[in-house]
Chain A
Amino acid sequence: MLAVTGVSKVFPGVKALSDVDFTARAGEVHALVGENGAGKSTLIKVLTGVYLPDAGEVVHDGTPVRFTTPLQAQQAGISTIYQEVNLVPLMSVARNLLLGREPRGRLGLIDFRRMHREADEALRGLGIRVDVRRPLRELGVGAQQMVALARAVAIDARVVIMDEPTSSLEPREVRTLFDVIRMLRERGIAVVYVSHRMDELYEICDSVTVLRDGRVVHTGRLADLDRLRLVSLMLGREIGEVRSEGLTKFTGSHHASAEPMLHAEGLTVRHQLRDVSLSIRPGEVVGLGGLLGSGRSETARAVAGALPTDSGRVSVGGAPVRTGSTPAAIRAGISLLPEDRKAEGIVPGLSVRENIALAALPSLSRFGLVDDARIDRIVDTFVKRLRIKSSGPHQKVGELSGGNQQKVLLARWLALHPKVLLLDEPTRGIDVGAKAEVQALIDELADDGLAVLLISSDTEELIEGSDRILVLKDGAVVDELTGDAVTEDALMRAIAAEPAGSHHD
Chain B
Amino acid sequence: MTELTLAQGRVDRDRLLRLLQEYGVYAGVAALLVFNFAFTDHFVSAENFRTQAVQVAPVLIVALGMALAIGTEGVDLSVGSVMALSTSLLSLYLGYGPWAAVLVPVAGGILIGLANGTLVAHLGVQPIVATLALMVAARGLALVLLPQLKDVRDPGMTALGSGDVLGVPYLVLIAVALALLVAFVVRRTTFGRQLLAIGDSRPAARLAGLPVRRVLIVVYACSGALAAVAGVLATARLTASDPTSLGTLMELSAITAVVVGGTPLSGGRVRIGGTVAGAVLIQLLTTTLVKHDLPPSWTQMAQAVVIVGAVYAARERGKR
* Chain A residues with a Cβ under 8 A of chain B: 12, 304, 306, 326-327, 329-331, 336, 338, 343-350, 354, 357-359, 361-362, 365, 368-370, 372, 412
- Is A326's CB under 8 angstroms from B206's CB? yes
Return chain B residues, CB-CB under 8 Å to A348: 200-201
B203 sits at the interface (CB 8 A): yes
B150 sits at the interface (CB 8 A): no
- Is A361's CB under 8 angstroms from B190's CB? yes
Q: How far is the CB of A391 from chain B (nearest CB, A)?
A: 12
B95 sits at the interface (CB 8 A): no
B191 sits at the interface (CB 8 A): yes
B271 sits at the interface (CB 8 A): no
Q: How far is the CB of B207 from chain A (nearest CB, A)?
A: 5
In Å, the complex CA distance between A369 and B268 comes to: 19
- Is A358's CB under 8 angstroms from B208's CB? yes
B21 sits at the interface (CB 8 A): no
Return chain A residues, CB-CB under 8 Å to B268: 347, 349-350
- Is A370's CB under 8 angstroms from B200's CB? no
- Is B190's CB under 8 angstroms from A343's CB? no
Most buried by A among B190, B191, B203: B190
In Å, the complex CA distance between A330 and B209 comes to: 7
Return chain B residues, CB-CB under 8 Å to A338: 207
In Å, the complex CA distance between A372 and B200 comes to: 21
Q: How far is the CB of B19 from chain A (nearest CB, A)?
A: 15
- Is B190's CB under 8 angstroms from A368's CB? yes
**Of the candidates A326, A346, A368, which one forms a contact with B209 in the assembled complex, judged by CB atoms under 8 Å apart?**
A326
B194 sits at the interface (CB 8 A): yes
Size band of the interface chain B makes with A? 20 to 34
Closest to A344 in B: B203
Return chain A residues, CB-CB under 8 Å to B188: 369-370, 372
Q: How far is the CB of B182 from chain A (nearest CB, A)?
A: 14
B193 sits at the interface (CB 8 A): yes
Q: How far is the CB of A307 from chain B (nearest CB, A)?
A: 11
- Is B193's CB under 8 angstroms from A354's CB? yes
In Å, the complex CA distance between A353 and B210 comes to: 17
B300 sits at the interface (CB 8 A): no
B8 sits at the interface (CB 8 A): no
Return chain A residues, CB-CB under 8 Å to B159: none
Residues A368 and B207 in contact in the complex (CB < 8 Å), given A350-B197, A350-B200: no
In Å, the complex CA distance between A303 and B189 comes to: 30
- Is A361's CB under 8 angstroms from B201's CB? no
Closest to A341 in B: B204
Return chain B residues, CB-CB under 8 Å to A345: 204, 207
Return chain B residues, CB-CB under 8 Å to A369: 188-190
In Å, the complex CA distance between A336 and B211 comes to: 17
Q: How far is the CB of A425 from chain B (nearest CB, A)?
A: 14
Residues A361 and B194 in contact in the complex (CB < 8 Å), given A327-B211, A370-B189: yes
* Chain B residues with a Cβ under 8 A of chain A: 3, 7, 188-194, 196-197, 200-201, 203-211, 268-269
Given contacts A343-B204, A344-B201, A412-B208, 17 further A-B contacts (CB under 8 A): A327-B209, A330-B208, A331-B209, A343-B203, A344-B207, A346-B201, A347-B197, A347-B268, A354-B196, A359-B209, A361-B190, A362-B190, A368-B190, A368-B191, A369-B189, A370-B188, A370-B189
Return chain A residues, CB-CB under 8 Å to B200: 347-350
Q: How far is the CB of B291 from chain A (nearest CB, A)?
A: 40
In Å, the complex CA distance between A131 and B37 comes to: 74
List of 3 A-B pairs having minimum Cβ-Cβ separation, nearest first: A330-B209, A349-B268, A349-B200
- Is A358's CB under 8 angstroms from B197's CB? yes
- Is A350's CB under 8 angstroms from B189's CB? no
**Of the candidates B190, B204, B269, which one forms a contact with A344 in the assembled complex, judged by CB atoms under 8 Å apart?**
B204
Closest to A331 in B: B209
Residues A361 and B204 in contact in the complex (CB < 8 Å), given A326-B209, A349-B268, A370-B188: no
Return chain A residues, CB-CB under 8 Å to B269: 349
- Is A368's CB under 8 angstroms from B193's CB? no
- Is A306's CB under 8 angstroms from B207's CB? yes
In Å, the complex CA distance between A31 and B211 comes to: 44
**Of the candidates B3, B7, B196, B207, which one forms a contact with A326 in the assembled complex, judged by CB atoms under 8 Å apart?**
B207
In Å, the complex CA distance between A345 and B7 comes to: 24
Most buried by B among A349, A359, A368: A349
Q: How far is the CB of B95 from chain A (nearest CB, A)?
A: 36
Q: List 21 A-B contacts (CB under 8 A).
A: A327-B210, A327-B211, A330-B208, A344-B203, A344-B204, A345-B204, A346-B201, A347-B196, A347-B201, A349-B201, A349-B268, A349-B269, A350-B200, A358-B205, A358-B208, A359-B209, A369-B188, A369-B189, A370-B188, A370-B193, A372-B188
Q: How far is the CB of A450 from chain B (nearest CB, A)?
A: 18
In Å, the complex CA distance between A439 and B191 comes to: 34
Closest to A372 in B: B188
Return chain B residues, CB-CB under 8 Å to A350: 193, 196-197, 200, 268
**Of the candidates A331, A336, A361, which one forms a contact with B207 in the assembled complex, judged by CB atoms under 8 Å apart?**
A336
In Å, the complex CA distance between A350 and B210 comes to: 15
Closest to A354 in B: B193
Return chain A residues, CB-CB under 8 Å to B204: 343-347
In Å, the complex CA distance between A344 and B200 comes to: 11
Q: How far is the CB of B200 from chain A (nearest CB, A)?
A: 4
In Å, the complex CA distance between A358 and B201 comes to: 12
Return chain B residues, CB-CB under 8 Å to A362: 190
In Å, the complex CA distance between A19 and B97 comes to: 81
Closest to B206 in A: A326
In Å, the complex CA distance between A350 and B197 comes to: 7
Q: How far is the CB of A415 from chain B (nearest CB, A)?
A: 11
Return chain A residues, CB-CB under 8 Å to B201: 343-344, 346-349
In Å, the complex CA distance between A483 and B196 comes to: 47
In Å, the complex CA distance between A77 and B207 comes to: 42
Return chain A residues, CB-CB under 8 Å to B208: 326, 330, 347, 358-359, 412
Closest to B199 in A: A349
In Å, the complex CA distance between A338 and B7 comes to: 28
In Å, the complex CA distance between A368 and B190 comes to: 5
In Å, the complex CA distance between A325 and B7 comes to: 40
